Structure 1
Amino acid sequence: MSQTSSADDHAQDLAAESLAGGSPTAWFEELYDAAGRGEAEVPWDRGAPHPLLSEWFAQHPEEATGHGRTAIVPGVGPGHDSELLASLGFRTTAFDVAPTAIDQVLAAHLDSPVDYRVADLFELPAAWRGAFDLVVESMTVQSMPRDVREAATLAVRSLAAPGGVLLVIGGVLPADHDLAEGPPWRLTRQEIEAFGADGLALQGIDVDREGNRYRAEFRRARR
């Protein structure tokens, strides 16, 4: 069994225990805590920014100048995406529900300009709503079961400012996949398109060459 498969299996076991206890997110803290002790791996830690995020900036160089603009990353994980945004000049906020995840990312990036916070997607600070020019949602919503999907989707899209961009990055749902099986609980096409509400309009969905990952772009109308 590969290390990636083993990490995925461990994450699935922790998620199952968390859901059985009534929480869709408690397993994140358990996973990061175990990873910090060397007893687990974080399966979504690629060691670099997500390639579909880097590709988007390469394809849209006008977006790669963040000076004077704000960005936010829900579910910060190891911090690679948020550090990329900060390096481009975005005034970047990144948060995670797992305190240990934030402790680890702060330890890894001692001089980071990113504002790292412990926060719950389902209890966002009021000041964050409609406050960000760029929202990067990379595999966070798909890491939670479908019974909280509508609330998670609403929370993510609420972060985008007028004229702002929301990028949603995730794994392509295989044909005939059991929708109850996860994590990850990958999004259906309809669930991806559901981010396009409250003034956010879908600009397009791009899939990588292997057909494994997608990036959906949404833009909110200016007032």
Structure 2
Amino acid sequence: MSDEAPAAWFERLYRQAAAGEAEIPWDRGGPNPYVAGWFAREGVEGRGRRALVVGCGLGDDAEHVAGLGFEVTAFDVAETAVRTARARHPGSAVRYRTADLTDPPAQWAGAWDLVVESLTVQSVPRSLRPLVTRHIAGFVAPGGTLLLLAGVLPDGVDEEDGPPWRLRRDEVDAFAAAGLTAADVERFTGDDGRTRWRAVFSRAAG
């Protein structure tokens, strides 16, 4: 990705996958288990609430959130991903949109009771990370919640080839610096042996 914009890189990958020339590494055929597991653990109820799914890819996380009763909008920078998500989930109530996280629609600011960010920030070069972090934090409405899932950059590692470029602890904490409060920051090792961040942030009501 170093020689092209993130949007172009993702669009090229999804086009190749649609043509049967590549596979999407994060396509599990279902929601991310560590996202779904958090909802199950917390007993989240979505009726009457609005959710935004960031970097929705093929839509599996968005469909899971919609199944909990949320009114869901999901977006991705890659037009082919959005088209594929709509085709994969015919009749879905999710509103799939093409949008760029570096320049999202202004009306999304402060508009969402729940924001789900799963593995998107780690796919963005570090030079853009402060900008997209501010935008993601800014989506959260008063009284709302942000759920973040990302890989952990190991201690003692300054940089890595990517994508992904996994997150340091200060990059997770940056969401709180952008106007949210950290409710829980969990570092855990999954069944696949990979270490991840799962963090929950909130914005004060009113």
TM-score by length of 2: 0.94
* Structure 1 counterpart SS, 2:75: strand
Match of 2:176 in 1: 196
Which of residues 186, 196, 203 in structure 2 aligns to 1:206? 186
* Structure 1 counterpart SS, 2:177: coil
Q: Number of aligned pairs?
A: 203
Post-superposition shift, 1:125? 1.0
Cα distance change of structure 1 residues 144 and 198 upon mapping to structure 2, 3 Å threshold: closer
Post-superposition shift, 1:177? 3.0
Match of 1:27 in 2: 9
* Structure 2 counterpart SS, 1:42: coil
Q: Deviations over 1:157-186 (max 9, x none)?
A: 111000100011011212333514211011
CA contact (8 A) 1:72 1:132 kept: yes
1:37-186 aligned at under 5 Å gives the runs 37-61=19-43, 63=44, 65-186=45-166
The structure richer in helix per residue is 1
Structure 1 CA distance for aligned equivalents of residues 107 and 90 of structure 2:
26
Structure 1 CA distance for aligned equivalents of residues 158 and 182 of structure 2:
26
Structure 2 CA distance for aligned equivalents of residues 33 and 24 of structure 1:
14
Unaligned runs of 5+ in 2: none
Q: Deviations over 1:15-48 (max 9, x none)?
A: 2xxx314x23210000000001111111111222
Match of 2:201 in 1: 218
* Structure 2 counterpart SS, 1:192: helix
* Structure 2 counterpart SS, 1:182: coil
| Letter matched to residue 196 of structure 2 | R
The RMSD of aligned alpha carbons is: 1.3
CA contact (8 A) 1:199 1:221 kept: no
CA contact (8 A) 1:25 1:144 kept: no
Taking only the aligned residue pairs, the percentage that are identical comes to: 50
Structure 2 CA distance for aligned equivalents of residues 40 and 212 of structure 1:
26
Structure 1 outlier segments of 4+, above 4 Å:
none
* Structure 2 counterpart SS, 1:208: strand
* Structure 1 counterpart SS, 2:14: helix
CA contact (8 A) 1:73 1:82 kept: yes
TM-score by length of 1: 0.87
